[in-house]
Amino acid sequence: MKRYLGCMFFALMVLLCGCGRDVPGEGGDRGKEGPWQRVDTAMGTVIQQTVYGAQETAELFSEDVMEMLYQMEREELSWRLDTSQVYRINRSAGLEEGCALSEELAGLLEACQELSVRSEGAFDVTLGRLTSLWNIDQWSTEENMTQFQIPSGKELEAAVESCGSSKMKIVRNAESAGTEPDSGRARIWLPEGMRLDLGAVGKGLALSRISRLLEEREEMGGAVISLGGSVLTYGVKPDGSPWKVGIVDPADPSSHLGILTLEGQWCVSTSGDYERYVEADGVRYHHILDPATGYPAQSGVGGVTVLVKDGLLSDGLSTACFILGPEQGMELAEAYGAETLFVMQDGSIRMSEGMETYFSR
């Protein structure tokens, strides 16, 4: 139930994107250009696509997007499916020979490693043992909500010990090309006990790939595509008006406290304590963990939105900024050329100077 509430909040976030009609092809010439809308689920979240262009081209595009997302989950990112690279990498932890991986995934993990260094360890995709200890991906079901038990201090300590992006070793152009599926010239070694969890960047990576797909299809006019808390805007609407992306109010996630007005291609990611959480003994635990303590991060942030051209950066930075809080977070994002908007738990708003151009109440 909670998951569906969360999904509704995300859907609401993009309702403001200027997609007034949901009946495709209605009335006049403009109807021939859309908007065409489609809603699915993938990567554990709601995928909402609004695309402009000729109907057949648009529908084919939306279908291809979904196929790409399913494939990413199945073959690259899932830590549950034994068909994915992340699953195989996790299983190889501690092995002397390590594990082969695609060049693209190696590049993604290197970027994550860099973000980990620059965020002083706040962002860390090697915290898979911590996220499974908290059982985050099971929080969505009502049954598990009532059965939830906080991990013990000892368990958390051991899981914290297993984390640390600097302990993950990646080699590009490895001498011994692997024989495993997907093996390119890259290899990775995880120490025993370490597990990857790419939940903080998977959707962002997908946004960048969708953006590339749009570039290849010149006949597509424009699109706004939301994968849960990460949104891609692309191109132009037939009437030339800008995209509008709503910023959810963490204190009341069914409403917005403002909008971003954007032109052309952007990636907007939000990380918030209201997106996924569980309650035990009257205490609420959310899904963004501080790798230093093993507990949900306590930075006073209710939600943080990052605006930048690249999806991996918007998604990764929003998670990092949530943990770091506004001072350190803004500095980090600025170093990556990204704009930030922090909504604090006390309701106050802090934003980077550049964000003021796009945000309005």
Interface contacts to ligand ADP, rule CB under 6 A: 122-125, 127, 131, 136, 197, 199-200, 228-229, 271, 275-276, 287-289, 291, 315, 318-319, 323
Least distance from C-beta 319 to Mg ion, angstroms?
Answer: 4
Nearest distance in Å: CB 270, Mg ion = 9
Question: Pick from 299, 319, 340, 352: which binds Mg ion (CB under 5 A)?
Answer: 319
- The binder of 85, among ligand ADP, Mg ion, none, by C-beta within 5 to 8 A per type, is none
Give dist(CA 30, CA 16) in Å, integer: 20
Of 123 and 342, CB closest to ligand ADP: 123
Quick one: 131 or 211, whose CB is closer to ligand ADP? 131
Pick the stretch among 99-107, 197-205, 258-266, 350-358 that binds Mg ion (CB under 5 A). Answer: 197-205
Residue nearest to Mg ion (CB): 319
Q: Which lies closer to ligand ADP via its Cβ, residue 3 or residue 88?
A: 3
- 98 vs 202, which CB is nearer to ligand ADP? 202
Q: Does position 200 bind Mg ion by CB under 5 A?
A: yes
Contacts of Mg ion in 30-89 (CB under 5 A): none
Q: Which is nearer to ligand ADP, 58 or 338 (CB)?
A: 338
What own/partner pairs with CB < 8 Å and gap ≥ 24 does 280-286 have? 280/148, 280/149, 280/150, 285/134, 285/150
To ligand ADP, the closest distance from the beta carbon of 123 in angstroms equals 5
124 sits near Mg ion (criterion: CB under 5 A):
no
Q: Which does 287 bind (CB under 5 to 8 A by kind): Mg ion, ligand ADP, none?
A: ligand ADP
Residue 301 as a binder of Mg ion (CB under 5 A): the answer is no
Residue closer to ligand ADP, measured from CB, 58 or 288: 288
Residue 292: CB minimum distance to ligand ADP, A: 9
Least spacing, CB of residue 344 vs ligand ADP, in Å: 17
Comparing CB distances to ligand ADP, the nearer of 122 and 214 is 122
Structure-block tokens of residue 310: 């690249």
Nearest distance from residue 306's CB to Mg ion, in Å? 8
Binding residue (CB under 5 A) for Mg ion from 318, 322, 323, 333: 318
